[in-house]
Structure 1
Amino acid sequence: MGTWDIGPFDNDTAADFGGDLDDAAMEERESMIRSVLERAVNPARELDAPDAERAVAAAALVAAQHPDGEPTCSVYGPAEPIPALPSTLRRLSVDALDQVVSEPSELAELWGDTPDGPKWRQGITRLRDVLDPPVPPQEEALFDV
């Protein structure tokens, strides 16, 4: 089927990643998520679509544990619990999401050619903003002094 919607687990690759997490022992799940994010941050060459799709799914799992995050309620995401993830994964998730939407990212290129591309980018931005909230303008002015 490939990709059926814009959500983090709305594609075959991410859904398979969710299944792999379910099949793994609880103590292995954090390292699997970390590995996926690290692979996206440091691609050997162009970030290919499957690695980017897994990275978006992993970042969504990290964001879901943030107080401002939304649960990953997709029926295609992991059904088994995810252990408490360290806050250090937030920065790694942000870096991975930045790679996903930057050149050269095969996934960004593929979404750029579709009518839903802008909605997909908004979803990535929402995830990123949970993980690394933007500084409000009034607070930003305090740092400019």
Structure 2
Amino acid sequence: MGTWGVGPFDSDTAADFCAEVDDVAMGEREQAVRTALVRAVDLPDDVELDACEAERAVAAAALVAAQCPGGESADSVYGPEEPLPDLTGLRGLAVQALGRVLTEPSELYELWAESDGGPWVAEVRRLENVLLPQPAGEQLGFLR
């Protein structure tokens, strides 16, 4: 596994996934992101989630989070170079996928647990928090 950091695009697998998203037509990019998320979510709870599929799901969730309020841009060196369609309709699916990545049996979670995985877990949790809808009072605080 070629991983050099805890960010969602800091692995060979995530970088390859972003290149694959760039390579498909604009009208197919949402489906490419959706497919990466669904592969993590649709796996039975008692089947281990492969590390590569988990890395793809984290990268896909980060692409969705980048379009949400509070999300960080996906303009990393290894993120997609081509424009993306509106992915915010995938927020719920992205949250589910990240939950699966952080739930055993998940090979990626187990690999990070063997090392100092705290910063990686914090990064995945940060993505989850961006993807979760904010309570109405927090979204529209200026209207009080």
How many residue pairs get aligned? The number is 136
Q: Distance in 2 between matches of 1:40 and 1:82?
A: 21
Q: SS of the counterpart of 2:22?
A: helix
Q: Distance in 2 between matches of 1:40 and 1:61?
A: 16
8 Å contact from structure 2 (residues 75, 81) kept in 1: no
Q: Distance in 2 between matches of 1:47 and 1:134?
A: 29
State which of 48, 51, 54 in structure 1 corresponds to 2:53: 51
Q: Distance in 1 between matches of 2:115 and 2:24?
A: 34
State the Cα distance separating 1:67 from its structure 2 match: 1.8
Structure 2 unaligned regions, length at least 5: 139-144
Aligned-CA RMSD value: 1.9
State the Cα distance separating 1:88 from its structure 2 match: 3.0
Corresponding position of 1:25: 25
Q: SS of the counterpart of 1:69?
A: coil
Q: Distance in 2 between matches of 1:14 and 1:71?
A: 15
Corresponding position of 2:142: none
State which of 77, 80, 87 in structure 2 corresponds to 1:78: 80
> How does 1:55-134 map onto structure 2 within 5 Å?
55-85=57-87, 87-115=88-116, 117-133=117-133
Structure 1 unaligned regions, length at least 5: 140-145
User: % of aligned pairs identical?
Assistant: 59
Q: Distance in 1 between matches of 2:113 and 2:102?
A: 10
Q: Distance in 1 between matches of 2:97 and 2:61?
A: 8
State the Cα distance separating 1:133 from its structure 2 match: 4.8
8 Å contact from structure 2 (residues 13, 56) kept in 1: yes
> Residue by residue, what CA displacement relative to the aligned partner does 1:107-136 show, whole Å, maximum 9, x if unpaired?
000000112x0000000000000111576x
Q: Distance in 1 between matches of 2:70 and 2:127?
A: 10
> Residue by residue, what CA displacement relative to the aligned partner does 1:44-67 show, whole Å, maximum 9, x if unpaired?
521100000000000000000002
* Residues 134, 112 of structure 1: alpha-carbon distance in 2 compared, 3 angstrom cutoff: farther
State the Cα distance separating 1:73 from its structure 2 match: 2.4
Give the residue type in structure 2 aligned to 1:49.
A
Give the residue type in structure 2 aligned to 1:102.
T
Give the residue type in structure 2 aligned to 1:21.
V
Give the residue type in structure 1 aligned to 2:126.
R
